[in-house]
Structure 1
Amino acid sequence: MGAVVERLASLGLTVPDVAAPVASYVPAVRSGAHVYTSGQLPFVDGVLPGTGKVGAEVTPEDAQEYAKLCALNVIAAINSIVDLDSVVRVVKLTVFVASAPDFTGQPAVANGASDLIAAAFGAAGSHARSAVGVAVLPLDTPVEVDAIVEVA
């Protein structure tokens, strides 16, 4: 068992199977020393745990948990093409938050993803990030996360 998997296990988490794409794309692509993931939704066993806009149908606290699930699916996407312990730096996360018109708490929602990535990858998990409010996301999911990682 590698270090990343052990860190996740200490949090009571396991790396899930990579989520099946919902359209015409692949979960992750390696180009040179980088892996780029497609946007990952908060699927748990193929089911979205909630839908709607954050600040309306979805609480910020639930959205933060959904962002954590997205990050776990990002890890699964990375794991589908490289060994997780080959990640030398999580370069960037982009967290998209389907937001009610007056919701401005996207950074706090995004912390759910950032905190899990930092816990999973240790020092290599310190990353740049964008937290972006959007009108709607695929399947009416509240949160979507993608990543760029550097690998050995």
Structure 2
Amino acid sequence: MRIHDVLKGKAIHEVLTISPDAGVRDLLGLLAEHNVGALVVSRDGGSLDGIVSERDVVRALHRDPGALDRTVADLMTSDVHTCDAHHTVDDLMAVMTEQRIRHVPVLADGRLVGVISIGDVVKNRIQELEFERDQLDSYVHQS
């Protein structure tokens, strides 16, 4: 299975982004409003400047309680692991596991086209296993 198959199966195709100049309080509001664990940081909604996650906020607050008054650029990860739509889900799972990351932006020709979360990967894997089970069940009960 390829990343583009997972992207097609997502209920929401919009990629949520936030400006690097936005405040951390605005970031928290968007994370809560959309019930997501990370946002892509982008000046124009299509390029990739970084990614910022709940973990980034927690680490920043642990170091500095005043981090709530800072900008997204102060907290974001700028060295972002990305993939393209033709990568396999298995390869992406390996990267997510090895790097301990939960969100990976998907790029096409350097432009942002989606984000794959660990939840998307798990949901996809469960669907594959259910399909295989149903096929085996059908085969066994063919008589």
TM-score norm. by structure 2 comes to 0.28
Structure of higher RCO (CA pairs closer than 8 Å, 6+ residues apart): 1
Larger radius of gyration: 2
Higher-strand-fraction structure: 1
Higher-helix-fraction structure: 2
